[in-house]
């Protein structure tokens, strides 16, 4: 198998997690960039394979789904108010559910509300939906469902 060279900008967000398998480069330093290209072209096959395996393992175990289930759920849940967190810690409220909807779902929702008489200039994406028709549009548009994995952090008032 032929393993390719990974060159990654040292300023990229992925540099922290994929840097061990890539050659990190500074695009603003021409001398360093040339040296990095030389390093890539002269790298031994076993070193290329080792770097490839590191990055392949990382990207196959740290998926977008895993990121949403951990990081995004955590950030959203931690940003909610004190009352929510107290109820959640006391098991009086279930985990936060985040639903990712397909492109166009909110346009369809807006179309529904405008057809019912809402002014286009006054329309805002609703935070709480009670309309059965609107809920159906939202449910049809769901691309993924994620639940927060744990209770929010303790907080003193």
Q: Where are the domains of the chain?
A: 7-61, 64-147
C-alpha to C-alpha distance for 99 and 102, rounded to whole angstroms? 10
Counting every residue, how long is the chain?
157
Best-predicted range by mean pLDDT among 26-30, 78-82, 121-125, 143-147? 26-30
pLDDT digits (tens, 9 = 90+) for 106-130: 889 889 988 988 887 877 766 777 8
pLDDT digits (tens, 9 = 90+) for 59-89: 888 877 777 777 777 777 777 778 877 888 7
Q: Pick the closest to residue 139 from 107, 102, 110 (CA basis).
A: 102
């Amino acid at each position: 198998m032929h393993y390719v060279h990974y060159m990654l900008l040292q300023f990229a967000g992925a540099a922290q997690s994929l840097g061990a398998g890539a050659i990190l480069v500074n695009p603003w330093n021409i001398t360093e960039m040339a040296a990095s290209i030389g390093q890539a072209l002269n790298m031994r096959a076993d070193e290329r394979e080792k770097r490839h395996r590191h990055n392949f393992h990382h990207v196959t175990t740290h998926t977008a789904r895993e990121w949403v289930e951990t990081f995004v759920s955590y950030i959203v849940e931690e940003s909610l108010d004190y009352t929510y967190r107290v109820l959640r810690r006391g098991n009086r409220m279930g985990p936060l559910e985040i639903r990712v909807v397909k492109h166009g779902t909110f346009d369809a929702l807006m179309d529904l509300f405008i057809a019912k008489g809402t002014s286009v200039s006054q329309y805002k994406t609703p935070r709480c939906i009670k309309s059965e028709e609107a809920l159906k549009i939202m449910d049809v548009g769901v691309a993924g469902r994620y639940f927060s994995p744990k209770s929010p952090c303790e907080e003193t008032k």
